[in-house]
Structure 1
Amino acid sequence: MQAVPDPTKTNFPFAPARLRRTVLDMAYAGQTVHIGCAFSIIELLAVLYRNHLQFSPTDPASPGRDMLVLSKGHGVMAQYACMREIGWIDDAAVSGYFADGSTLKGLSDSRVPGLEVTSGSLGHGLSIAVGMALGARRNGSNQRVFCIVGDGEMNEGPNWEAMLFAPQHKLDNLVVIIDENGFQAMGRTDEIIALGDLATKFAAFGFDAVTIDGHDEAAIDDAVTSLLGNGSGRPKAIIAKTIKGYGVPFMENDNIWHYTRLTDQTYQAAIAALEEAR
């Protein structure tokens, strides 16, 4: 069995305000989009990397690491921000985002060390995560698999097949986190395909499921800790109620920031908003 790195020895703070500033810097430097959907998962990623993910700070491909599958791959700037804190990417990668020769993509890409999957074609990450969890179980590994999906992405059929498979195989090393920010690319999820009570749906499929405030770091930590420690033998689901664009008031709950690029003025205004909130 592979030795599992201990996350408690890394001591990275993963401060959400700093992570959001990195997202802004990347989006401004590369004149890219998807700021709002990166902001909604900042606290989720911060807590996972700080308190739960087992990884090596010197080797993103360490054999005993936990797996983090970012199925909503368009939120990848939030994960890049965490990877910068660890040292897996440097300041030049941030300031050179999307410049000629940049190795970082606008969607999660498994060729980037630290990213487990290539995603962005939505609805497939959970199936991959289920396969990883089954593989770890069959290999006798203690590795856990965390999968972050968007609520709009839950419209995709393969997710529901994966949700049937995971309880059948008692994959209690799988934690699915739904970023329920209420929006998808073209509008509100309730107006496109209403999802109803996702916790009830996951429970009906055989998951241990809870609903939390996805920006409350203590609630996130408690949910992950209690679910993984309950000994039920069932896979886990956390429905995280979040706000798209959270942290910058003029971006919050405004779906225009799914595809809007920063100008000089909005970049400075967003930075000022982060500073004011400290």
Structure 2
Amino acid sequence: METTALKAKAAQIRMDLLRMIHGAGTGHTGGSLSNTDILTALYYRVMKIDPTNPKWDGRDRFIASKGHSVESLWCILADLGFFPKEELNTFSRFGTRLIGHPNNKVPGIEMNTGALGHGLAISVGMALAAKRDGKSYRVYCLMGDGEQAEGSVWEAAMAGPHYKLDNLVGIIDRNRLQISGSTEDVMGLEPLEEKWSAFGWHVVSVDGNDIEALVQAFEAAPAVPGKPTLVMANTVKGKGVSFAENVPHWHHHVPNDQELEQALAELTAVLESYKQEGQVR
């Protein structure tokens, strides 16, 4: 999928997740909006996947360590055909598979996540297994920036370079906000890039809401043989909805009817701009 089509797809996914959260009356809106471009680049351009065969042995693995921002992932998996799109209407309802965190009873989900700090360690294990089994698949792990305060993240960060896991890509959704405010006020992280580099990772810093830049960073990995890659994706929390951007309250705010209508109007205008370019149907 070309860049303009990817941008249009990201706008559509944002519309879908807002409708889903509004209908369910619950969800993590801000982080799902910020990570949408990351997931769109991975699922529609970079990763080797087969929705008709979710357990295909050669598939790339994706672990959503920041599992609370699952809404964008549910919408993408449904759009790709891992499960019927109508099932999005059951999100967070009694008896649904589509709960508020990734659930491995759903095709396309590798593991249950959401207890922060666990995803990278399991990703290290998956990447090490691929190396030892002579498999060519890659492992991508999306973490939150607030999650960097978890000690288990740094244990895994030591293990990745130790085992020379250049088939592993860690991604940090660096939107600088968490549930209780600024990451730097809650638990200062900087200099974050230098810390990951000191642990032995090849660090690439990009605009995490620039799909073209994301694709380039992912497709260049491993830029340094024998080193895992850490993509520092500098994002805007609430991206795509003007009145939600960089507003801590939108971490898990559910849009009301008026907010939903306004947000959808903004995103529809974005989609129309791509159609006018003649590159998106």
Give me the TM-score of the superposition, normalised by structure 2: 0.91
SS of 1:175's equivalent in the other structure is strand
Provide the rounded CA distance (Å) in 2 between the counterparts of 1:175 and 1:91: 29
SS where residue 40 of structure 1 aligns?
helix
Compute the displacement of 1:197 (Å).
2.5
Q: What RMSD, in angstroms, separates the aligned Cα atoms of the two structures?
A: 1.8
In 1, the alpha carbon distance for the partners of 2:152 and 2:224 equals 27
CA distance in 1, matches of 2:194, 2:143: 17
Q: Select which of 203, 226, 236 maps to 2:229.
A: 236
Q: Alpha-carbon deviations, 1:129-162, whole Å to 9, x = none?
A: 1111111111110010000000000000000010
Contact 1:69-1:129 within 8 A present in 2 as well: yes
Equivalent residue number for residue 268 of structure 1: 261
Alpha-carbon displacement from aligned partner over 1:159-189 (angstroms, at most 9, x marks no partner): 0010111101000000000000001111110
Q: Answer yes or no: is the 8 Å Cα contact 1:14–1:82 preserved in 2.
A: no
Q: Deviations over 1:191-250 (max 9, x none)?
A: 01111122211111111111110011111111112223x352111100010000000001
Taking the aligned partners of 1:98 and 1:209, their CA distance within structure 2 comes to 36
Conserved? CA contact 2:165–2:226, under 8 Å: yes
The answer to whether residue 74 in structure 2 is matched with residue 117 in structure 1 is no
1:4 corresponds to which residue?
Answer: none
What corresponds to 1:152 in structure 2? 146
Moved more, 112-121 or 150-159: 112-121
Deviates more, 1:79-88 or 1:97-106: 97-106
Name the SS of the counterpart of 1:58 in structure 2.
Answer: coil
Among candidates 243, 246, 249, match of residue 239 of structure 2: 246
Secondary structure of the 2:115 match is coil
Amino acid corresponding to residue 61 of structure 1 in structure 2 = K
Would you say 1:108 and 2:97 are equivalent positions? no
**Residue in structure 2 matched with residue 38 of structure 1 by the alignment:** 32
1:1-278 aligned at under 5 Å gives the runs 15-228=9-222, 230-278=223-271
Change (3 A) 1:103 1:14: farther
For 1:198 and 1:14, the matched residues in 2 are separated by 31
After alignment, is 150-159 or 196-205 more displaced?
196-205
Cα separation, 2, equivalents of 1:182 and 1:16: 21
Per-residue deviation, 1:14? 7.3
Misfit runs of 4+, over 3 Å: 11-14
Structure-1 separation of matches of 2:144 and 2:201: 18
Alpha-carbon distance in structure 2 between the residues aligned to 1:169 and 1:219? 28
Shift of 1:59: 1.6
CA displacement, residues 2-41 of structure 1 (integer Å, 9 cap, x when unaligned): xxxxx99xx9987111110110121011111201100111
The one-letter code sitting in structure 1 at the alignment partner of 2:143 is V
Indicate if the aligned counterparts of 2:8 and 2:270 stay in contact, CA closer than 8 A.
no
User: How far apart, CA to CA, are the structure 2 residues paired with 1:136 and 1:23?
Assistant: 33
Amino acid at match of 2:246: N
**How many residue pairs align between the two structures?**
269
Q: Distance in 1 between matches of 2:113 and 2:8?
A: 24
Give unmatched runs, 5+ long, in structure 2. Answer: 272-281
Gaps of 5+ in 1: 1-6
